[in-house]
Amino acid sequence: MSSLAIRDLTKRYDDTAVVNTVSLDVAEGEFVSLLGPSGCGKTTILRMIAGLLEPSSGSILIGGEDVTRRPANRRNIGLVFQSYALFPHLTVFENVAFGLRRQGVRGGDLDTRVKEALARVRLDAHADRFPRQLSGGQQQRVALARSIAPRPSILLFDEPLSNLDAQLREEMQIELKRLQAELELTSLFVTHDQHEAMSLSDRICLLAGGDIQQLGTPEEVYFNPANAFVAGFIGSPNKLDGTMRGGQVEIAANVLLSPGTAEGAEGAPVSVTLRQEDIVLDPDAADAPLSGRVSLRIFEGASVQYLVTLDTGLELLARVRSQGPKANLPEGTRVGVSVAPEHVYLAPRVAA
- Domains, the chain, in order of start with CATH, read 4-228 (3.40.50.300), 236-348 (2.40.50.100)
Please give the pLDDT value at position 66: 96
Instruction: Note the pLDDT of residue 256.
Output: 87
- Provide the β-strand partners of residue 239: 273
Burial group, residue 199, by CB count within 10 angstroms (0-12, 13-18, 19+): middle
Q: Give the pLDDT of residue 203.
A: 97
Ordered per-residue pLDDT tens for the chain, 352 residues: 579 999 999 999 998 999 999 999 999 999 999 999 999 999 999 999 999 999 999 999 999 999 999 999 899 999 998 888 899 999 999 999 998 998 899 999 999 999 999 998 889 899 999 999 998 889 988 999 999 999 999 999 999 888 778 888 888 888 888 888 888 889 999 999 999 999 999 999 999 999 999 999 999 999 888 887 898 899 888 999 999 998 899 998 888 899 987 777 888 999 899 999 999 999 999 888 899 999 999 999 999 999 999 999 999 999 999 999 999 999 999 999 999 999 998 888 765 5
Q: Which residues contact 23 (CB under 8 A, 6 or more apart)?
A: 5, 6, 7, 8, 9
Beta-carbon neighbour count of residue 135 at 10 Å?
A: 10
Query: What pTM did the predictor assign?
Result: 0.86
What's the pLDDT at 117? 93
What per-residue confidence (pLDDT) applies to 182? 86
Which amino acid makes up residue 66?
A: D
**For position 264, what pLDDT does the model report?**
77
pLDDT of residue 170: 85
d(CA 98, CA 274): 50
Torsion angles phi and psi, residue 24, rounded to 5: -155, 140
Q: What are phi and psi for residue 341, nearest 5 degrees? A: -50, -40
Classify the C-alpha dihedral 127-184-187-50 as positive or negative: negative
Q: For residues 5 and 180, give the distance between their C-alpha atoms in angstroms, rounded to a whole number.
A: 19
* Spatial separation of the C-alpha atoms in residues 11 and 122, rounded to whole Å: 39
In the chain, the N- to C-terminal Cα span, in Å, equals 52
How confident is the model at residue 350, as a pLDDT?
A: 66
CA distances, 120 to each of 32, 115, 131, 142, 146 (Å) = 21, 9, 18, 10, 11
C-alpha to C-alpha distance for 61 and 235, rounded to whole angstroms? 33
Q: Cβ atoms within 10 A of the Cβ of 323, count?
A: 9
